[in-house]
Amino acid sequence: MNDIDKRFTGSVPKVYGTFLVPLIFEPYAADLQARISSIGPSRILEIAAGTGVVTRALAATARPDASIVATDLNQAMLDEAAATGTARPVEWQRADAMALPFADNEFDAVACQFGVMFFPDKAQAFAEARRVLKPGGVFVFNVWDRISENEFANTITNALAGVFPDDPPRFLMRTPHGYHDVPIIQRDLAAGGFTSSPRIETVVARSRADSARVPAFAYCQGTPLRNEIEARDASSLDEATAIAAAAVAQQFGADGVEGKIQAHVVTVRK
């Protein structure tokens, strides 16, 4: 993974929160929230919280006395999350998942929505999640399945390969959709110290938008894919977005578009 893959700066957090969250993250946020809430934890840590879609779901549904700490490496993402707000007070804190600034055995549950793929050393991040969990505590996270199972992301990646044939932008394939191999996930959890067998479920959902431009704009301008496009040609962002939108329209129609999304949801106890 390149450093550029972790750069959520400028207008990216706003576009991410406004367009990408409802496009692909909300269905899985509800799924993750339900899994966490069914455990009834009193102290919850969220890592790689992004703009807070899972945080908001947890704040609205967790037991009344539960405390929630939401962290992310990118302060700009946390600022966007805090500005949106939550149904109850949440502690927002910048933190690196590779070296969490919390004591051992501090949390009943650790949640991570689509953040694991960005961790440079997955086993180390898993070891940190395990360290801060109380004995019997639960780590719940999800990761995207391979890009071919996620239709909008796949279509846009292929379209951009036509714009930059000599150096195609591969962020979506390389990072968000680059950690989908179940045996590797199991291996990394074991390397992180988890001795119980994880439950790994593949969950299919639908991604919907009012027009073909929405997924194109969300992916091209609301993720680090924007950094890749601008690194190749700083003036080409709008053109690349339009070409991606045309590709989505050709495959899914211009209005009321809908595509498949698919992810693995992992639950493991300490």
- Tokens read off for 94: 């910048």
107-113 and 43-46 strand pairing: parallel
The whole-number average pLDDT for the span 124-132 is: 98
Question: Tell me, what's the pLDDT at 38?
Answer: 93
Return the C-alpha torsion angle 7, 145, 41, 69, nearest 10: 0
Chain segment 77-116, per-residue pLDDT in tens:
999 999 999 999 999 999 999 999 999 999 999 999 999 9
Question: φ, ψ for residue 233 (rounded to 5)?
Answer: -160, 105
- Residue 1 reports pLDDT greater than 80: no
Q: What is the mean pLDDT of the chain?
A: 95
Q: Domain ranges in the chain?
A: 3-269
Alpha-carbon torsion, ordered 267, 84, 69, 226, to 10 deg: 60
- The pLDDT value recorded for residue 101 is 98
Instruction: Please give the residue that has the higher pLDDT: either 10 or 199.
Output: 199
Per-residue confidence band for 118, with pLDDT thresholds at 50, 70 and 90: very high
- In the predicted structure, residue 2 carries a pLDDT above the cut 70: no
Percentage, residues of the chain above pLDDT 70? 97
pLDDT score for 8: 66
Residue with tokens 């692909």: 24
Average pLDDT of the segment spanning 111-138: 98
- Domain 3-269 in this protein, CATH class: alpha beta
- Looking at residue 9, its pLDDT comes to 59
User: pLDDT class for 179, splitting at 50, 70, 90?
Assistant: very high
The number of residues in the chain equals 270
What percentage of residues in the chain have a pLDDT greater than 90?
A: 94
* pLDDT bucket at 6, cuts 50 / 70 / 90: low
- Smallest CA-to-CA distance from 240 within 155, 153, 156 is with 156
- Residue 140, strand partner residues: 111, 267
Nearest C-alpha neighbor of 11 from the set 243, 244, 215, 223? 223
pLDDT in tens, 217-229: 999 999 999 999 9
Per DSSP, 216 falls in state H
Q: What is the 3-state secondary structure (H, E, C) of 134-181?
A: EEEEEEEEEEECCHHHCHHHHHHHHHHHHHCCCCCCCHHHHCCCCCCC
